[in-house]
Amino acid sequence: MKRDLFTDDHEAYRDAVREFLKREVVPNWERWDDEHMIDRSVYVKAAQTGLYGLQIPEQYGGAGEMDYRYRMVVAEEIAKTGATSFAVTIAVQDDLVLHYLRDLTTDEQRERWLPPFAAGELIGALAMTEPGAGSDLRGIRTRAVQDGDDWILNGQKTFISSGIMADVVIVAAQTNPDAGSRGFTLFVVETGMPGFERGRQLDKIGLMGQDTAELFFRDVRVPAANVLGGVGRGLQNLMSHLPRERLGLTINAFAKARAIFEETRRYCADRVAFGNTLDSLQHVRFELAEMSTELDVAEAYVDKSVLAYNVDELTPTDAGKGKWYLTDLEKRVIDRCLQLHGGYGFMREFHVGRAYIDTRVETIYGGTNEIMKDLIGRELVQELHRHE
């Protein structure tokens, strides 16, 4: 079936994205994985090309383009290259950090942070997870205590994407232990603040080029000018940005699953076994048919979610449905694709093998899929009881 989501403008943008990736990413991403770090210079070039940060207002150096379909084009094209670590880093910047810096900042803060972000010169990170607090953000123990006009921040964060290279880190901290959900605040910690230290770059089993770190805050003095979104509004601000975060995870999962499937379909057409190509075997055709159908059905929900987000109608629950279903589908599709590749699927030089490892975390981060299902189920139950 013809896909009607994109216009000619989106396809023209796709051509520019594809050319950039061919020139700047494809020759380098395997080296980035081997070195466990992506060159910072590529973000400057990516920003100049418009690969991310499009929604930054023009007065701060962006395009002021709010259509999320452009973000989806980027996700689809990166997925075709196999550069998963680059895809995740772009997603962290565009689907997470930018929207906190754009939506929650004062005029003075926007003047400070948005122009260098739009230029690709400022890299950000979002620091929520702690050794004892993952999907349950109310378990955060990092603490900030007011001291005059400043705040003294103490605590530890872990599993922080882009934590090593980040110039600014948005940190969630408890500011009033007696205030319940209004006892948390977001702070922007900047490189060079005394007491802010980066621990080791964590040794992950996948996403080797995407740096992930432990962060430590020991009596970090954060000025009031670096409070983000208001004192006591940390949890509310986090919750308000869940649709964008979950949608980003959804589209990346779909893009990667579709890319690996298409690659596997071509492999089955070329690979000869028992005197004929793999796709001459009925079982293989059944596997391809099932995966193609599942992806086409899922595509309808993904596209619907993107359009709903564009008109500010995507709810956290609907975004959560996409997040758990698409990351779970991605995992199943890539596993089946690896099986169809046989021994070659277990080799790092094949995209399917790397994808099998790199995408495993996607059912975990951004809120585990078990948490997504519980949140969806609770809303279903509450909605029914509200109407009794």
Residue 216 CB-half CA count within 13 A: 8
63/44 Cα distance (integer angstroms): 15
**In 3D, which of 129, 135, 127 has the Cα closest to residue 369?**
135
CB 124 within 8 A of CB 168: yes
- Helix ranges (H only) for the chain are 8-20, 29-35, 41-49, 69-81, 84-91, 98-103, 107-118, 234-240, 242-270, 282-310, 316-341, 351-358, 369-386
CA distances from 378 to 57, 97, 181, 295, 373 (A): 37, 28, 19, 27, 8
Q: Are 217 and 142 in contact (CB under 8 A)?
A: yes
**Residues 116 and 160 sit within 8 Å (Cβ to Cβ):** no
CA atoms within 13 A on the CB side of 112: 13
Active-site annotation holds for 76: no
Catalytic residue (choose from 245, 263, 330, 362): 245
Residue pair 175/229 in contact (Cβ under 8 Å)? The answer is no
Residues forming beta bridges with residue 150, ordered by sequence position: 147, 223
Question: Which DSSP string corresponds to 265-294?
Answer: HHHHHH-EETTEEGGGSHHHHHHHHHHHHH
CA distance 262 to 156: 42
Integer distance in angstroms from the first to the last C-alpha of the chain?
A: 42
Which are the catalytic amino acids? 245
